[in-house]
Amino acid sequence: MKRILTLVAGILATASLLTSCLGTEELELSSNAYIVSFSINDIKTEIPSKTASGEDTTIVKTVTGSHYTFAIDHVKGEVYNVDSLPKGTDVTRVSVNMTVDAGYVYRYENEENKLFTTKDSVDFTYPVLFSLYSYDNLSSRSYYIRLNVHQSDVDSLVWTPMKNNNFHAGSMTAEKMVQLGDQLLIFGEMNGQPTMMSGQLNNRFSFAPEEYPLSGVAGKVDYSSIVAHENAVYLLADGKLYSSLTGVEWTEESPERTFTSMVGIVEGKLCLNANDTIVACDPYEWNADNNVECFTHDWEVVQVVSGDIFPVSPWVVSAPLTTNEQLIRTTLFGYPSNYAGKSVSIWSKISTDKKWTYYNPIEGNGQECPALERLTVISYDDKLCAFGGAEKGGNVEAFEAIYTSEDGGITWWKQEKKIGFPEELKGYNDPFACVVDTDENIWIVCSNGLMFKGRIGG
């Protein structure tokens, strides 16, 4: 009843004002009722803390409201910030800016509707219902406005277990994982048969892949060689190169050539090792030949390397330089074929370089990359991150920690806080696969059926 009386009073006041201004001229009132734009002002949050001497104090942190963009869904009646506010932000007293095409705006508070003004301080602990009424009072629209707040530190690596992943725990090894479009492809052996399982990436808490045996591949598959680029996947089997547009049906490429190992995709080219000679071609230059898709076999010699120190099927990591984003540094990590307890073999080149440079281990360097079983290296959060099984002949346990490097792989530091693995992975020393998707999610799937998706900030 209060809301109706307030609304009637507002309409009468507006009508009186319009009559005095326009005399006898008629004015058609609008039937619109929707939010045009929404933003928040700065939020100050007081955080209890202690001084160096142990005395109680308070730290005030300010969240700049203009840094956060709000989405307005007129169909669902929802307004929310696209990027979450930092963990711990106090959203109990927030002032907002809202542009509307409507006559009046009310918000639901303490079991009643209150006329809203931009001077109000709103408690967004839970979504708040805002109702808009048109000038002619013939239409209305309601929106739930919510402020998303990170539930974990923005610089912490948060892992989500993926349920119902149908990965056939114990019957298929997890050897390699790649992203192809919106699909996640997992390769491994199932009952001695090379098999691929694929599933959609867009499920937040579950992953239900379908199983497919590989066809068209002759010989033993080198799972570590599998790479994806653009719309295709590539692998080596008994030294022969195969390509596929689906990950299921495979076609042999360059049958006249045999390769030692896969190097990977480097600056848009498919690079392979052919008896200590790195060769490359353009993998995505597809042409039609009797309606059969194949890529142009125009191999170029990149560099002759030493098999004693060049890694076999290395992890390839490419990222812009922090000092110049126009330049890309690509680094290879792995072990040579005759590895005998030496350091991880690391090779690097910048996009302006013609050849690779070997990072000769510095004697006495106590910050080397640990020589881990199934060494995995990814680029994440502007750092190189290394992890894997137990250290070869060392004291590091499987999935004990993540080691990061910010100087291109020269020095590595064990992360003790905020960045680590779920307890279920600690000590796991069997085959696993890992990939970072295009949305910056880290996926890990283990041969025992465990599957996790990790992301900084959750």
pLDDT score at 342: 65
Instruction: Quickly state the pLDDT bin for 284 (edges 50, 70, 90).
Output: low
Exposure letters 246-260 (e unless 16+ CB within 10 A, then b) = ebbebeebbeeeebb
Q: Which amino acid type is present at position 427?
A: G
Q: Which amino acid type is present at position 365?
A: N
Q: Is the pLDDT of residue 8 over 90?
A: no
| Owner of token pair 């792989």 | 409
**Rounded CA separation 226/187 (Å):** 9
Q: Phi, psi at residue 386, to the nearest 5°? A: -120, 140
pLDDT score at 339: 77
Tell me, yes or no, whether 41 and 10 share the same domain: yes
Tell me, yes or no, whether 104 and 222 share the same domain: no
Is the full-model pTM beyond 0.75? Answer: no
What lies within 8 Å, CB to CB, of 325 at 6+ separation is none
pLDDT score at 47: 75
> Out of 120-124, 251-255, 284-288, which region has the weakest mean confidence (pLDDT)?
284-288
Tell me, yes or no, whether 269 and 332 share the same domain: yes
Q: Residue 68's domain is classified under what CATH number? A: 2.60.40.2340
Tell me, yes or no, whether 82 and 183 share the same domain: no
pLDDT score at 341: 67
Q: Would residue 141 count as lying in a domain?
A: yes
**Rounded CA separation 289/310 (Å):** 36
Of 105, 121, 146, the residue that ends a domain is 146
Q: Would residue 421 count as lying in a domain?
A: yes
Tell me, yes or no, whether 321 and 188 share the same domain: yes
Question: Residues 352-369: pLDDT tens digits?
Answer: 998 999 988 766 677 888
Tell me, yes or no, whether 82 and 193 share the same domain: no
Q: Is the pLDDT of residue 449 over 90?
A: no
> Out of 82-91, 230-239, 312-321, 374-383, which region has the weakest mean confidence (pLDDT)?
82-91
Q: Select from 437, 379, 372 the least CA-distant residue to 408.
A: 379
Tell me, yes or no, whether 258 and 337 share the same domain: yes
Q: Are 215 and 250 in contact (CB under 8 A)?
A: yes
Q: Would residue 273 count as lying in a domain?
A: yes
Tell me, yes or no, whether 106 and 70 share the same domain: yes
What lies within 8 Å, CB to CB, of 21 at 6+ separation is none
DSSP string, 266-314: ETTEEEEESSSEEEEE-TT-EEEETTEEEE----EEEEE--TTTSPSS-
pLDDT score at 168: 65
**Rounded CA separation 152/341 (Å):** 40
Q: Is the pLDDT of residue 87 over 70?
A: yes
3-state SS track over 198-225: EEECCCCCECCCEEEECECCCCCEEEEE
What lies within 8 Å, CB to CB, of 419 at 6+ separation is 156, 157, 385, 402, 404
Q: Select from 130, 137, 101, 133 the least CA-distant residue to 116.
A: 130
Instruction: Quickly state the pLDDT bin for 52 (edges 50, 70, 90).
Output: low
Average the pLDDT over 432-449 and give the result: 91
Paired tokens of 20: 């005095």
Q: Select from 229, 257, 259, 261 the least CA-distant residue to 245.
A: 229
Of 146, 178, 193, the residue that ends a domain is 146
Q: Could you list the residue range(s) of the whole structural domain that residue 377 is in?
A: 157-456
Tell me, yes or no, whether 220 and 103 share the same domain: no
What lies within 8 Å, CB to CB, of 55 at 6+ separation is none
Total number of domains constituting the chain: 2
pLDDT score at 416: 80
Question: Residues 215-252: pLDDT tens digits?
Answer: 999 999 999 999 999 889 999 999 999 999 999 999 99
Tell me, yes or no, whether 169 and 140 share the same domain: no
Instruction: Quickly state the pLDDT bin for 19 (edges 50, 70, 90).
Output: very low
pLDDT score at 348: 93
Q: Would residue 314 count as lying in a domain?
A: yes
Paired tokens of 386: 């290394």
Q: Would residue 151 count as lying in a domain?
A: no
pLDDT score at 419: 85
Q: What percent of the chain has pLDDT over 70?
A: 85
Q: Would residue 94 count as lying in a domain?
A: yes
Instruction: Quickly state the pLDDT bin for 263 (edges 50, 70, 90).
Output: very high
Q: Is the pLDDT of residue 296 over 70?
A: no
Q: Is the pLDDT of residue 153 over 70?
A: no
Q: Would residue 152 count as lying in a domain?
A: no
**Rounded CA separation 251/308 (Å):** 32
Tell me, yes or no, whether 193 and 269 share the same domain: yes
Q: Residue 362's domain is classified under what CATH number? A: 2.120.10.80
Q: Are 376 and 390 in contact (CB under 8 A)?
A: no
pLDDT score at 295: 56
Tell me, yes or no, whether 133 and 196 share the same domain: no
What is the average pLDDT value for the chain, to the nearest integer?
A: 85
Which 3 state secondary structure label does DSSP give 167? coil
Of 90, 123, 146, the residue that ends a domain is 146
Q: Are 403 and 415 in contact (CB under 8 A)?
A: yes
Q: Would residue 374 count as lying in a domain?
A: yes
Q: Are 198 and 210 in contact (CB under 8 A)?
A: yes
